[in-house]
Structure 1
Amino acid sequence: MFNIANNLTLARIAAVPIIVVLLYYPNKTTTFLALIFFIIASITDIFDGIIARRFNIVTNFGKFLDPLADKLLINSILIMLVWLGWVEAWIAVVIVGRETMVTGLRAIAADVGVVIAADKYGKMKTIMQMISLCPLILHYPLLGIDFVPLGTALLYIAVVLTIFSGINYLRRFFKDLHRAA
């Protein structure tokens, strides 16, 4: 259960309270440190899956924990950014709502023995959310450059992908559940 891939996932979860605390006291230094922790945590999302597949150490614990870690990381940061007034609340509601819906649908599907794996749209959504949050976490200009408009534009793209992947997941859920019945 505690192989290298799962430990990377656990490290991603452990980074969340550190990032939240750093954002709770926002200034140029703390937001920069929060950004560094967020980038490192996001990178673990890439490597935990690669390592698990390459070394054949994929576990049910890891299959459960990896998407949970992603949701915890992204949703926590979004909530903090809304609290700081740096992101509009409706964006967090759409993203957190989609994640809650997918988690619920996965539980229903699993209850009848159906596994609905993440697809390319869900992975694209997660990547775009992580990329868009970086300049928003930084918030303050770096080397005289304000990256917030870029982060905001990327976050809108992430919201579109979030909605699209949620609809796609819902469609697959009903199709796979109908097939299982």
Structure 2
Amino acid sequence: MKTFLGGLQSFLEKIDGLRDELLFLFIKPYWPRKILPNHITYARVAIGALLFVLLFFFGIQNKLLIISLFSVGALTDLFDGSIARGTNKVTEFGAMLDSTADRILIVPIAIYSLLESHKWLLLALILTEIINALTSMYYKSIKIYLESNIFGKTKMVLQSLVFVVILIVWPNAPSLLFIATLWVTIIFSFLSIFSRIAELKIKKIKQA
């Protein structure tokens, strides 16, 4: 199992590295340095908050508007990390903000699209995010930073793609394939948590 997970992690990291290399072709020479990666992440927070207000306070049912906002928010997640790495602006705060922004974007869409027909899946997704957040907060409280990893990134990519499809077919029921994929993202969430803790323990052993 460890060999499989290690191979999967290496494979996903290679794909993520290729994405960075492609984006760096534009980011390094052309990206305006006044626009910080955290600005992009704050935009995702704002979009997530706006979606929450539109869906649950105003009851907006305009599919094109909701899909467009969510898609733009998801795209910011594709770019902010690469911008940070490409402009040497990687910070601990930025990484923590990134994961928080992901949750703020995903949760309202998850509630909106899963509450009626897939309550257990919705509950599992939310509980997983709570566990993930509490784990990070605990280690932060003892002055230890858990770095994000490829499993968490993969989870976000899969969830973003699936929720776009679910929104497109809404109010029709999505294919079981997409529901199954969301269950798989929960596995990726726990892989992210456990692998980060394991990497931290390895670092401690090496430093001892």
**Seq. identity, %:** 26
Structure 1, unaligned stretches of length 5 or more? none
Change (3 A) 1:14 1:90: same
Change (3 A) 1:58 1:3: farther
Please, which of 180, 184, 194 is the counterpart of residue 157 of structure 1?
184
Please, which of 144, 160, 181 is the counterpart of residue 114 of structure 1?
144
Structure 2, unaligned stretches of length 5 or more? 1-33
Separation in structure 1 between the aligned mates of residue 40 and residue 95 of structure 2, nearest angstrom: 13
What is the CA deviation profile of residues 75-113 of structure 1, one whole-angstrom value per residue up to 9, with x for unaligned ones?
222122244x15x12212222222221222222223333
Please, which of 138, 153, 170 is the counterpart of residue 123 of structure 1?
153
Hey, what does 1:59 align to over in structure 2?
91
Q: For 1:31-180, list aligned pairs within 5 A.
A: 31-83=63-115, 85-86=116-117, 88-140=118-170, 148-149=174-175, 150-169=177-196, 171=198, 175=201, 179=205
What is the CA deviation profile of residues 99-156 of structure 1, one whole-angstrom value per residue up to 9, with x for unaligned ones?
2212222222233332221222111111111111111223338xxxx68215334323
What is the CA deviation profile of residues 8-49 of structure 1, one whole-angstrom value per residue up to 9, with x for unaligned ones?
11110111133234444364xx12211111111011011111
Q: Aligned residues, how many?
A: 171
Two-structure CA RMSD over aligned residues (Å) = 2.8
TM-score normalised over the length of structure 1: 0.77
Separation in structure 2 between the aligned mates of residue 169 and residue 59 of structure 1, nearest angstrom: 17
Separation in structure 2 between the aligned mates of residue 98 and residue 177 of structure 1, nearest angstrom: 25
CA contact (8 A) 2:132 2:189 kept: no
Separation in structure 1 between the aligned mates of residue 203 and residue 135 of structure 2, nearest angstrom: 10
CA contact (8 A) 1:16 1:76 kept: yes
Change (3 A) 1:137 1:21: farther
